[in-house]
Every structure is written in C-alpha cells, then in structure tokens.
Structure 1
C-alpha cells in the first residue's frame, strides 16, 4: 500500500519546508511514500523532485452542472449576472471546463502521478445550507460522465482515473445502482473508486463516534458487494458532523451576504464544519482497511501549519501500526 500525505502545490505551503530535501525527509519520517498533490493556481516549480508526487487531486468546481448544461437562467440567479459567473469559472460554456481539466491532466502527467482523483458532485452555496438540491444524483452522474468521457476517450493517459465520493448530489457510495452506472459509463479501462471515508460518514448524520462511523462504512461495503473491489484508493480521515448539520442546515443564515466573495467565505467556513477531516484514532476502522486493501492511501487531514499536519498524520500512523502489529 502506497501512502501519501495531501499537500497543495502552493507557495505558502511549500515555504513551510526549507527545501525539497526537507519535504522529502518529512514525508518519509511520517511513513509516507510521497504526496497527493493538488494544483495551487501557480506555476509548478521546475525542480520538483521526480517520484515525490504519487497521486494528483484534480481541480474541482463545487457547482458546475448548470454551466455544463448551459442553464444560463440558473447561473444568473446564483451569481447575479453571467459576467460574474464567467469570472468565477474562467469563462462560459462546456469548453471552459474541458480546457481547465485538460490542463490539469497534463500537470498530473508531467508530475508522474500514479492516479488522479475526480469529484463527482454538484452543490451551490445556498444548497450547502438549505440541503434542498436542484440536481439529483443521477443528473449529476449524467453530466459527469459526459465530461469525463470527453476528457479521457481515446487518450492514453499514464495514470488511473479514480472517482471520489461526496455527500452532495452525485456519487455518494450509498447506492450500488448509481455506483455501477457511474463506473460502467466511464469509457476508460484504468479506472476505479477513491473512497473518502470522511465524506461517506457525512452521508449519515446519526453517527456519534468513530466506531459507529466504521460500522457504517462497513455496511456500505456490504451493500455494494462485488462493486467494492473497484475501490483502489482511500482518502483516510473521519468526520462526525451530524449534530452540526442537524442544527445548522435546512435554511440560509439570517445574514446571508449579497456580495459573492462574502457569501463564499461564509459558505467555506460552514463546509469545514461539516467535512471535518480529523484523524482516525479508533481501531474499529482497521478491519475495514484490511477488507478493502487499497493500493493507495492518502492522509487527507485538516491542518493550517506544518506542525499541525505532522501531528495529524503521526496520529493516524500510530493507529495503522496497530494493524501491522496485530497477531
């Protein structure tokens, strides 16, 4: 199993390390083989060491299906004008999304990633609070398949293409019919699932501890039967945000800003409360890992500094060592 730590290729984050040797030493000290990178919107350093990037998280837009489908009325309602929408997406129309994803796939190729991760979900800022959604899981999967196949068909990319589950409309890993439809619809042989354990826990607001979370993940594996064999990687973290969701959703905040940037800031803070990305500390998850046997495991944990990142990963590694030392 190849282990990575999630790390954005962003100058402020990279400056936390003295140089590439310092970063590589930190990676190895933490028991990892490399990083799962995500583009930070800046030129990627030319001297980034070969082999550091094991996986690559593709860019993502939380709310993109209306743009893909050309629903200009919906975009005007969300952003106030098509001009504002274009400033958010970098343009209008399907080619806007295709261009940006093609450029990101090329980055993953240049970096030598063994896999890329693609979110199959769609949610507006208002829907993050209201929890009343304009698109169904099947509608989001339909749009995602159109986009994915346009990007991949006829291409010989040198990496696995993995779809990641969310708790928003799209691919949730709770409905085997939808999971099968998504996987069967991707016209690319080297494909699979990147199971995000915390995102799956976010689907069940009744969970109150890690043991219940592990049992819920196990139940979803049972529900999927042989489809679970398509899980090739894991984003390893836990999230127990049910009480927060139950008390902070179903309506917009009383003071909902009109300006887009302010709304984004309020929404971002809200989503961080839902999607907690905390370390696993309960050994109840270990049989689940043994059952899945992922090829790749990424420690995707909330951290604002290098020190927090180090502590969080070390905590999970202490748990994983229990698995290795088990009789």
Structure 2
C-alpha cells in the first residue's frame, strides 16, 4: 500500500479529490494524516485515510516528570506552557493520545504512527543531552501502555535522531518493543530520520548503504518494520556546520524568536525532499513491509501531485 502525507483543510476537498484520482492511476492508495482541532472529525471521512500520524510533542519528558523548573526554562511562562500542552497537568498527554486513538478508529485508520523521542529546544543545535535514550523509552512505555489497550489499528513506532527510538541500537530497540503491551504493534522506518544520525553521509548511495546496514543490525526485529516514511535530505553537510551563531541568536531571543530559529533549523535538518536512492533494495530487505508513505514537502495541491509522481519513479 502506497500513500502520501496530507493534512486536509477546509474548502479544498474537491480540488484534492481531483488530484488524488489522478494519483490513484499511478498506484497511490490513500493518505497518512494528522487528526487535529483544525477540522471536524467527520470531515476526514471524505478522505482516503489509511494511516494516522498521532500528535507529536518534541519536548515532553520534563513536563511528564513534573519538573516544572525545566519546563519553564523551555517555555518561560504559564502562557507558553498552556499554549504548548493545553494544561499544567501531565495527564493531558494521556487524555490527548487516548482521544487520538479513539478518533483514528472512528475514521477507519489501518495504522497509527507514534514518535518515540524527546529533545529540549536548546539541544537541537548542540546535541548535548542531559537525558538518555533509555530514560525516554521507559517514560514512553508508561504512556503507551496506559493509552493503547484492547483492539485497534496497527501501532507503528517511528525512529527519530534524538534520544529515544533511533533504530540504531538492537538491544535498546528490543528492550522497548518487548515491553509494549499492545499486541498489534511494529516499527515505522523514517529514512531521513535515520540518515540524520550519521554526519558522514554525502549522497544517496551512501544513504542506501547506511540504511541497509541499520536494517541488518536490527537482526530479527526487522521483520516488525511494517511501514516506511520515504523522504530525503539535501546532503549539504548541514550537520557538520558550526551552529554557534544560531545558538547565540537563540539564547537572547524571546520565545517566538527562538521558535522561528528552531523551526528553520529543523527544516534544514529534515527537509522532506524526494528520496533519490535505490528504494527497491531497501524495501527488499523488509520482509513484512505493508505501508509505504511518501512524506514529502509540497507548496500546493498541484505541486503535491508533481512531487508524489516524481518520488514514485524511484519506487516503480
């Protein structure tokens, strides 16, 4: 099943469906989307939803642990905290994910995507973390095992380059997976996220080899990779850049200024470009792959059609 990432907006359904009908002829079978307050839930029933990417809090560990001193370091004041979390109580995370789980079932999603990661805003430049992957995994397990119970769609855990589930460490990956109580579970391999864990990748040939090595390193666990996010990066040695200038501007900015600097940094780190490597050899190493989702940057619905068609050229 091949889908693409798309978040519906008001008054664009007709235009989307015309484009989607053309993409169906190219082999597209649906979309992966995010459920949010920007659109009533019933509106999603008009779209060919196959997957739901659950809401992602890049920064959540300190809030979950109720370390409000560190939370205020990141969000400054009560207004900032409420804007991000919508509450001062950590239970809001459980409530939010429980509602997402139920809403996804209501619209008939076949699979869900859950980010297993944490990074504080100050750390995205330096990567000097004061928390470990095992800490992130253990706290994530508390949330996952409280939220996802009973029957439901396939729950896929996505890798990120920050502490948590990177899919680089076999033992840590196995540790996490074995402790998830929800039975209908697996992994989703995000290509650009795993590329971002290695600074020395210079092109897509390097990327192909590195991704294949990571799949091989997962040993028996690679049979649980049921989904892939297809996307690429720019290979401009961005990860080797000296970020001292950005860090200096970030350190003296207000919350809005800092967010803009963070956002620009993340767009350069993970730009969701077309993956121009040998996707066939990657997919061939995933014996139980079910869902291929094209997670690509686009500027309009018409542009979406073009980038999806171009990415499909590397799959067919």
TM-score (norm 2): 0.93
Q: Deviations over 1:75-123 (max 9, x none)?
A: 1211223443133210122211111111211221111000000000011
**Residue in 2 that maps onto 1:311:** 306
Q: Distance in 2 between matches of 1:220 and 1:152?
A: 28
Q: Which SS does the other structure have where 1:9 is aligned?
A: coil
Decide whether the 8 Å contact of 1:208 with 1:240 is kept in 2: no
**Residue in 1 that maps onto 2:7:** 8
Distance 1:253 1:118, change over 3 A: same
250-259 or 124-133: which moved more?
250-259
Q: Distance in 2 between matches of 1:319 and 1:106?
A: 35
Structure 1 stretches lacking a partner, 5+ long = 322-327
101-110 or 48-57: which moved more?
48-57
Structure 2 stretches lacking a partner, 5+ long = none
126-135 or 196-205: which moved more?
126-135
Q: Deviations over 1:133-180 (max 9, x none)?
A: 121111111111011001013x322x0111000001110010001110
43-52 or 169-178: which moved more?
43-52
Decide whether the 8 Å contact of 1:241 with 1:275 is kept in 2: no
**Residue in 1 that maps onto 2:206:** 212
1:132 is the counterpart of 2:128? yes
Distance 1:20 1:138, change over 3 A: same
Q: Distance in 2 between matches of 1:319 and 1:84?
A: 43
1:254 is the counterpart of 2:228? no
Distance 1:251 1:204, change over 3 A: farther
1:295 is the counterpart of 2:290? yes
Q: Give, in angstroms, the shift of residue 21 of structure 1.
A: 3.7
134-143 or 309-318: which moved more?
309-318
**Residue in 1 that maps onto 2:258:** 263
Q: Distance in 1 between matches of 2:37 and 2:253?
A: 26
Q: Give, in angstroms, the shift of residue 192 of structure 1.
A: 0.3
Q: Distance in 2 between matches of 1:47 and 1:80?
A: 36
Distance 1:29 1:263, change over 3 A: farther
TM-score (norm 1): 0.90
1:144 is the counterpart of 2:144? no
Distance 1:48 1:138, change over 3 A: closer
Q: Distance in 2 between matches of 1:281 and 1:43?
A: 34
Quote the RMSD (CA, aligned, Å).
Answer: 1.9
Aligned partner of 1:79 among 75, 78, 94:
75
